[in-house]
Amino acid sequence: MLSKGFHRCKSDPNIYMLRHDDSLLLIVLYIDDLLIIGSALSEISWVKTALHDRFSMTDMGLLHYFLGLEVSQSTSRIKMAQTKYALDLLDRFQMTECKPSSSPFLSRVGLEDGVTTPLVDNLFNGSW
């Protein structure tokens, strides 16, 4: 990845980023799974070709499920949920018949650019 111009994310070494002109390309690496995200289809195609030329890999198409996160996409939105993960947890702890409770999570929270957000130091420095 580094030889193709990618840089490792400072806050998570499993994320590689490449800025090219006005596009951003991200690769999330988890064991033997790759999630490729980009703002330009041509950049995504380029990186998939480069990876396929070097490694044996299968293109699974649009993202539907990754690390417990369910993703559904349409032309106007991307919806993410963890329904299967939550149901599996309830089943594991024999709580499938429990009563639901409201969540303190704020609904309809918008995303922001994050340019001014400071990076999180994820390295343990020995003190709490």
Tell which wins on pLDDT, 86 or 106: 86
Band (90; pLDDT cuts 50, 70, 90): very high
- How confident is the model over 10-47, as pLDDT tens digits? 888 899 998 877 888 999 988 888 889 888 888 888 88
Tell which wins on pLDDT, 8 or 3: 8
CA atoms within 13 A on the CB side of 79: 7
* pTM (two decimals): 0.61
Query: Is the Cβ–Cβ distance between 25 and 43 less than 8 Å?
Result: yes
Q: How far apart are CA 95 and CA 124, in angstroms?
A: 35
User: What is the edge-to-edge ordering of all strands in the sheet holding 78-81?
Assistant: 65-66, 69-73, 78-81
